[in-house]
Structure 1
C-alpha cells in the first residue's frame, strides 16, 4: 500500500472511531454532522432507484428486443419489488452482527452486478434474475437508510439529512425517465443499463471513502418487526403507504404507453414530458422538507390527493399535449414530497426501532409497487392506459382520506409498544 493510501485508510479509521464514540449515547448525543457520508447514501439511493425505474422509460424497446408484451416487460418492475419486499424485512435480522458500513457497501456492489446481468441478458428469465438481485440490494439499502442517517447527524438535523438522502430518488427520476428513454432511442436499452452499472460503481467508491464504521444496533429480529407492525399508529401509516405508492406506480409504470397510445405524442415529446416530471420532482423534494417543518399532516395528505385528481383528469383526456405535459409536471412536483415525508414519519413515529421501522416502510412500498405495476398491467391489457390512470387516481384519493383521518406522527405511547 502506498503512503497516500495508508494516510487515507488512517483518516477513515480515525473518523470511524470518532463516530462510534459519539454514537454510543444515541442520536440525541450527536454533535457532529457527517454530511459526506449522507451524500454517499444519496448516491446509493440514486443508483438503486435509477436501476429500479429504468424499465419504465425503456419498456417498449425492451419488450420488442426480448419478444414479449409490454405488460409482461412491466413485470420486471414488480419482480424487483417482490424481492425488495423480502430483503427489507430480512436484512436487519440476517446482518445483525455486521458493521453497517460493510453491509451498505455490499448492497451497492450487488447493484453493479444486477445491472450487468440485465445489460447482457439473453432472454426474459435472465432479465428477471438480474432484477431479482436488484430487488435484494434495493430492499436492504432502503430498509436501513433512515436509521443510518439518524446516526450520522444531530437529531435536529435529521429531517435535513433525510431530505438530502431522498433527493437521490428525485435525481434518479430525472435520469431514469427522460434520459433513459432518450439514450435508449439513441444507443439502445442495453447500454443504458451498463451506464447504470457505472453509477453503482461511483456510489460504491464514495461510500468507501466517506461512510464510517457503524456497529449494529437494535434488536434486528423478525419478532421485533412484528411488535413494531402491531402498533396501531404504525399499522395505519403502513396501510396509507400501501395505497399511496400502489396508486402512484400504477400510473407511473405505464406512463409511456399512455403518452404514446392515448395522447399520440412522439418519443421526443415523451422524453420532454418525463424530464419535466423529473425536474419538478426534484424541486418537490426540497419543498417537502420546507413543508414538513410547518405542517407534516398536510405534507403527507395533499400530494396523493393532487396526484389522484391529476390521474382522473388524464384518464379522460385524449389531446392537448401541452396540458398533459403541465399536469405531469405538477404530478412530479407533488410526488417529490412523498418519500421524504414518509421517511420523517418513520423517524418520528418509531424512534426506538428505526431499522425495523425502515424495513416495514420499504416492505409496504415494495408491495405497493408490485401491486401497482402488476395490477396496472392487468388493467392495461383489459381496459387500456386510460383505465389504469382512472383506477390509480381513485386509489390515491382514498389514501389521502385515510392519512387525514387516521395517520399520526407521534411515537406510540409506551403501553401500546409492549409485546
Structure 2
C-alpha cells in the first residue's frame, strides 16, 4: 500500500504543479515583438540614409508602431470575439514577422512605414491576449505570469537592442530586420507547441469592452497608467542626451545600467505585488524622483544612481499596472488589458512628441522634470484607488 500511496501522491503533485513552458513561450513572443519595436533606434542612421529620409523622419517608424497599437488594442477582441486565443497569438507573431520582412526589403520609406504599422497591430494584439492566455495556463499565478511577460520585455531592451545594433553594423540594417522576422516565426512555432487551446471568454467582444469602459475605478487607473507612461516616455527617448551632458564617454555603460536596473525591477515587482496598492503607488513616485535627480545631477556618480533607479522603477510599472487592471476587473481581463496597452501606446506617442518639443525649446532637463511631475501624479492617483485582494 505504501508504494501505491507514494505513487499517487507523486502523480497528484505533478498535476498540481503548473508548467512554466507556456508562459516562457509567451515571454519569448513578447520579447521578440518589443525588440522589433525598438529596432529602428539601433540602426537609425543607416536606415534613414538607405530609404532617403532624414533621421528625424525615420524616427517616425517608432511612433507609427505606437499609433497602430493604440488603435488595435481596444478593437482586436471586438473583431475576433470567438477565435481561439492560441490561434490568435500565433497569428499575431506571424504578422509581426511579415512586418519585419516588409521593412527588411522596403524599397522606400512608405513601404517601411507600412511594415511598422503592421508591427504595431501585432504588438498591441499580442499584449492584449498574452496575460489572459498565461493565466489560463497557470491559474492563480497572476503575479508570476505578469513578471514573466515583463521580464521578456526587459530582456528585449537589455539584449535585443544592442544585438540589433551589432548586426546592423556588421551585416547591414536590413539583415537585422530579416533576422527578427525569422526569430518571430520560431517564437510563433514555440507558442503553437507549448500553449493549450484557449477558448474565448463567452462575453468577449464589444459587450465586454463596453462594460469595462463603464467601470469608473478601472478607467481612473487607466488614466494613471497614461500619466506614468507619459512621464517615462517624455524623458526616455532623450536619455542618451541626458547622459552625454555629464560624460559622453560613459553613455554606453549607463544605458546598460538602465537595462540591468530594469531587469531587477521586473523581478522584484513580481515579489512585491503581494502588496499591489503600495507597489502601484510607489513605482511611479520612485520613477519621478529618479527623473528629477537625473535632470539636476551634476556629477557622474549621482547620474549613474539616478539612471539605475530610473530603469528599476519604470520596469516595475508594467507588472504593477497589468495586475492592477486585472484585479479591478477580473471578469473582463482581455478588455482591461487592452485598455492598459492602449494607455501605454497613447502615452508613448504623446510623451515622446511632447518631450521633443520641450527638448528643442528648453533643453534636456525640462522633459525629465515634466516627466517626473507626471509620474508622481500617477503614483498619488494609484495611492487613492483601492484594489481588491486576490489569491497569490
TM band (smaller chain): 0.7 to 0.9
Match of 2:18, SS state, is: coil
- Please give the per-residue CA displacement for 1:98-129, whole angstroms capped at 9, x wherever unaligned: 11111100000011111122233333322211
Whole-angstrom CA distance in 2 between matches of 1:58 and 1:408: 44
> Contact (CA 8 Å) 2:80, 2:205: kept in 1 or not?
no
Q: Specify whether residues 380 and 123 from structure 1 end up closer, same or farther in structure 2 by C-alpha distance, changes over 3 A only.
A: farther
Whether 1:143 aligns to 2:128 is: yes
Residue 11 (structure 1) aligns with: none
Whether 1:277 aligns to 2:258 is: yes
Q: Could you tell me how far 1:310 is from its partner in structure 2?
A: 2.0
Q: Specify whether residues 123 and 375 from structure 1 end up closer, same or farther in structure 2 by C-alpha distance, changes over 3 A only.
A: farther
Q: Which runs of 4+ in 1 moved over 6 A?
A: none
Residue 127 (structure 1) aligns with: 112
Residue 338 (structure 1) aligns with: 317
- Please give the per-residue CA displacement for 1:373-415, whole angstroms capped at 9, x wherever unaligned: 222233233334333222222211221122222x22228xxxx
Match of 1:352, SS state, is: helix
> Contact (CA 8 Å) 1:237, 1:408: kept in 2 or not?
no
Match of 2:74, SS state, is: helix
> Contact (CA 8 Å) 1:166, 1:339: kept in 2 or not?
yes
Q: Could you tell me how far 1:190 is from its partner in structure 2?
A: 3.2
Q: Could you tell me how far 1:68 is from its partner in structure 2?
A: 4.2
Give the alignment of 1:197-346 within 5 angstroms.
197-260=181-244, 262-263=245-246, 265-266=248-249, 269-293=250-274, 295-317=275-297, 320-346=299-325
- Please give the per-residue CA displacement for 1:269-301, whole angstroms capped at 9, x wherever unaligned: 4332222221221121110011112x2122112
Q: Could you tell me how far 1:180 is from its partner in structure 2?
A: 3.7
Whole-angstrom CA distance in 1 between matches of 2:369 and 2:59: 19
Residue 5 (structure 2) aligns with: none
The RMSD of aligned alpha carbons is: 2.3
Residue 192 (structure 1) aligns with: 176
Whole-angstrom CA distance in 1 between matches of 2:270 and 2:364: 33
Q: Specify whether residues 194 and 324 from structure 1 end up closer, same or farther in structure 2 by C-alpha distance, changes over 3 A only.
A: farther
TM-score (norm 1): 0.83
Q: Specify whether residues 48 and 394 from structure 1 end up closer, same or farther in structure 2 by C-alpha distance, changes over 3 A only.
A: same
TM-score (norm 2): 0.88
Whether 1:115 aligns to 2:96 is: no
Q: Specify whether residues 69 and 308 from structure 1 end up closer, same or farther in structure 2 by C-alpha distance, changes over 3 A only.
A: farther
Residue 388 (structure 2) aligns with: 410
Runs of 5+ unmatched residues, structure 2 = 1-14
> Contact (CA 8 Å) 2:243, 2:254: kept in 1 or not?
no
Moved more, 93-102 or 178-187: 178-187
Whole-angstrom CA distance in 2 between matches of 1:187 and 1:401: 48
Q: Specify whether residues 191 and 234 from structure 1 end up closer, same or farther in structure 2 by C-alpha distance, changes over 3 A only.
A: same
Give the alignment of 1:349-368 within 5 angstroms.
349-368=328-347
> Contact (CA 8 Å) 1:56, 1:256: kept in 2 or not?
no
Q: Could you tell me how far 1:351 is from its partner in structure 2?
A: 0.9
